[in-house]
Chain A
Amino acid sequence: MTTEQFTKEFELARPHLKSYILRITASMADTEDIVQDSYIKASLKLDTFKGDSTVKTWIFTIASNIAKDNLRAKKRWPETVTDICREKALNNPDYFPEIANLMHTSPQAQFEIKEHITFCLTCISKSLPLEQQICILLKEVYDFKVSEIVEIIESTEAMVKYYLHTSRSKMTNVYEGRCALINKEGTCHQCSELNGIFNPKQDFEVEKNKIEFAKKANDPNRQNLLDLRFKIMKEIDPFNSNGSALQLHHLEHNKKIMENF
């Protein structure tokens, strides 16, 4: 493969790669660095690419390894990350002025519940062990097959299946205990609270019923609800959506809090 052909393939993969790395690192700066480093690293060893996998799988393998190195020494986030960060935001006098400024200056600072659900999914997935988070994102959001994930994380099919199953069970349980959208006893109302702040004229119940998994809150198969969350995530580009500037600001805020937690 020539460098030109590779660059073309890389550019095709770049949007997915960027969003994948962002969801793993929760850092815009790290994402930019890792994506750029992945391009350089892959370009330098193009001769080692034998075509046993797709170029996209190979790029994701290189990027995942760089991201894992970047995250190795960092703590995983607790399941209660959104509660902790909410408290910090409320006690930070600069937080809401920053948001207000963003809303006046950026065309991509609208608050949409779906985007906040994606933000929430990113945060909760960071409470999983890293290998599990990587596997579930690759499978449910970026449509990689189990056999491709085996290559990307350099593991076995059995372990990838173990990671996928375990991460799904854990996330389902976390949401079951926390999310007020699917469980009346849920402790987290953050999306409705923020919607009330940013969109005071909207009726939250009406907006909520536009979200498929909220409508299906009584589905006894709780994993179906998780699939619907991933479906929303799959449809949103965190760098280029109606509220990307706002949600990236939230994510950066949470990352800073978690670094000192």
Chain B
Amino acid sequence: MTTLTSNGKALTVKKTFSRETGVSIDIQADKSIIWALLTNANDYPRWNSTIISIDGTIAANEKIKLKAKLDPKREFKLSVKEFQPESTLVWGDGMGKRIYTLKTIGNNLTNFSMNEKIGGPIFPLFAKMIPPFDQAFEQFARDLKSEAETISKTK
């Protein structure tokens, strides 16, 4: 994937057998606040306008069911493939995986990036049926930044 700039703008790279979308944004909050938001499944709909629901527990080797506004009729059954607290979260299925990464870049300043790659040998057959992720990724990043920075200002 081309290196993302931390401006909250999504970038998509399309190839014959895959499509990859990423977004990156700097958030004025401690990593642990962002991690808490990313890993509390039933709290997502409260702050994240791209998510309808997430059922299950976001923890190592757990399974979750996700419904997104981008494709509200579908329920994605996903496995948590990597869970490194306050650093990396990966979930996905046979078609692809989404990677969340957090990096401390300053005092109370964290870089958040989210990347999803979908693809495989039969990807060209259904590629046109999958809506673009760019807007949803940008909204996700904006919502996360807004919520985390609000929490960070709690006195």
A: residues with CB less than 8 A from B are: 146, 156-159, 161-162, 164-166, 169-170, 173
Whether B46 contacts A161 by the Cβ 8 Å rule is: no
Residues of B within 8 Å of A161, CB to CB, are 33, 151-152, 154
Q: Is the CB of B33 within 8 A of A146?
A: no
Complex Cα gap A2–B150 (Å): 44
**Least Cβ distance of A40 to chain B in Å?**
34
Q: Tell which of B30, B31, B36, B46 touches A169, judged by Cβ atoms closer than 8 Å.
A: B46
Counted as pairs of residues, one from A and one from B, with CB atoms less than 8 Å apart, the total is 37
- Cβ contact within 8 Å between A146 and B36: no
Contact status A166-B43, CB under 8 Å: yes
Partner of A158, one of B36, B40, B46, B155: B36
B32 part of interface (Cβ distance < 8 Å):
yes
Shortest distance from the beta carbon of A176 to any chain B beta carbon, whole Å? 13
Size of the B side of the interface (Cβ < 8 Å), in residues, is 16
Residue of A nearest to B147 (CB): A165
Q: Which residue of B lies closest to A161 (CB)?
A: B154
Q: How far is the CA of A146 from the CA of B154 in the complex (A)?
A: 9
Q: Which of A161, A162, A164, A173 has the most CB of B within 10 A?
A: A162
Please name all residues of chain B whose beta carbon is closer than 8 Å to the beta carbon of A158 when the two chains form the complex: 29-33, 36, 151-152
Q: How far is the CA of A164 from the CA of B152 in the complex (A)?
A: 11
Distance of A126 from chain B, by nearest CB (Å): 17
A162 and B46 contacting across the interface, CB-CB below 8 Å? no
Chain B contacts of A166 at CB under 8 A?
40, 43, 46, 151
Closest Cβ of chain B: how far from A10's Cβ, in Å?
29
Instruction: Tell me the complex Cα distance, A162–B30, Å.
Output: 11
Give every chain A residue within 8 A of B68 (Cβ-Cβ): none
The residue of chain B having its C-beta at the shortest distance from the C-beta of A173 within the complex is B46
Closest beta carbon of chain A to B51's beta carbon, Å: 15
* Cα–Cα, bound, A168→B46 (Å): 12
Bound-state Cα–Cα, A164 to B33, Å: 12
Find out whether the CB atom of B32 lies under 8 angstroms from the CB atom of A165: no
Query: In the bound complex, how far is the Cα of B120 from the Cα of A118, in angstroms?
Result: 58
Q: A159-B36, A169-B46, A170-B46 are in contact. List 13 more A-B contacts (CB 8 A).
A: A157-B30, A158-B32, A158-B36, A158-B151, A159-B33, A161-B33, A161-B154, A162-B37, A164-B154, A166-B43, A166-B151, A169-B47, A173-B46
**Interfacial chain B residues near A169, Cβ < 8 Å:** 46-47
A65-B31 Cα distance, complex, nearest whole Å: 26
Residues of B within 8 A of A156 (CB): 30, 32
Instruction: Give the Cβ gap from A78 to chain B, nearest Cβ, in Å.
Output: 13
Q: Are B155 and A162 touching (Cβ within 8 A)? A: no
Contacts of B40 in A (CB 8 A): 166
Cα of A158 to Cα of B152 in the assembled complex, Å: 7
